[in-house]
Structure 1
Amino acid sequence: MRSLLKRHCRAGSGWRSTAISCGTSCPGSPLSSRPTPRWNLGVDIRSSSEALVELQRGDIDIAIGRYDRVPKGIVKEPIMESSVSLVCVKNHPLLRKRTPQIEDIGRYRLVTLPRRNSTRRLINKAFFKARIKMHNCIEAGTCQTVCSFVESGLGVGLIHTLCAGRDGGGKLGYLDMSHCLGSVEFSVVYRNGRPASPVFARMLEVCTAPDDKHPRKMVGRL
């Protein structure tokens, strides 16, 4: 489950969805004549609005992402929360603060997600509440790109904790910011009353069942 969410974040951070379609082989195809039917599993990237439309049409079976609201006939189940983390180059002064505040971050150029991103709106709200203006803010399409810009020395970044700690060279440091930025929720959505085929039931089980290695809440992990 966590690997799917990481792919989701790489593809477009909080404003994209992982769309999953699962079904038997098409009638009349060579596979459908076999005694044991094959299952087709497709995993694609969609915007959250596109995923909801395709769910309603029946083009996909499950979508994973961030959904504030869903239309009638669509079931939404929260599966994980992720806090927002500060990312800086190693030895940056902010990393010496155990709990940096918005005022501290506001002194530096900020690299973060696009304005249309729901996580960015959460960040903007926190800056507005603290009466701090973002100076020379740089937008990046994904958390991975934010980290690349920060590693290049363009500023300090704010990303999902889910995406933190993935730089291979260990050149970056991270601090959890849940104390002033809260967390974001990821959910799985699917059609209400959808026939429970074995592969759909199993995929839904994988998406919704927490375990010790993949906790539902990723806050203060680093």
Structure 2
Amino acid sequence: MNPAQEFDWTRSTGIVLLVTVFVFLIGAFSAAYFRAMPPSDPRQQLTLIANDPIGWPTQAIIFPVAFLATALIFGSIALRLPAGWPRWLALAATLLFVAGFLLWLPISSDRLRLGREAAEMLRTFDPAAPPQVFGNGWVFWPHTITVLTAIGLMGAALALGGLLPTLGWWVAGLGLLGLVAGPLILRDWPPFASYLFLLVMAIGLLRR
């Protein structure tokens, strides 16, 4: 691949990834529920969801679409990286992002269900026996770990492949930081934070 062709595909990939990041961030902040610290009280949770008939389902739909789009972008990058470690790491990152997409589907399905049922759950709310609002929470950490690992591996692949020789390692380090900070320190991880890491990657590809 000559330098002009390499420039064309890295720049176009950076643009597509950047658009995907922005779409994801729109989804992340479209729901009023996530524009502030989410409440722990079930009644307050249901009230926020019931009063947001557009934003709540919007994020439930946009998130998996963005995850799938990112997996496809990663796959496209993997096919263009040099054979050997760069390509293998990128392929592993792609498969992990596909897994992250699949793991998120039960969460989105449950959020869409909540959007339909929140008003009725509020109407029948019993403070003495409050309902469990969210289900399928067990998949959150497997999803988060696979996505952060994928970002770290893709950063390393881009560094070893010579496309982002310095910034790629920074992205890999951010992925590792998320893997440590999320489950061990913060005990939580907002999905939009992972896409801020991808924003760094997208800008790097655009500037190459």
Which of the five TM-score ranges fits, normalised by the shorter chain? under 0.3
User: Is the strand fraction higher in 1 or 2?
Assistant: 1
User: Is the helix fraction higher in 1 or 2?
Assistant: 2
Normalised by the size of structure 2, how large is the TM-score?
0.27
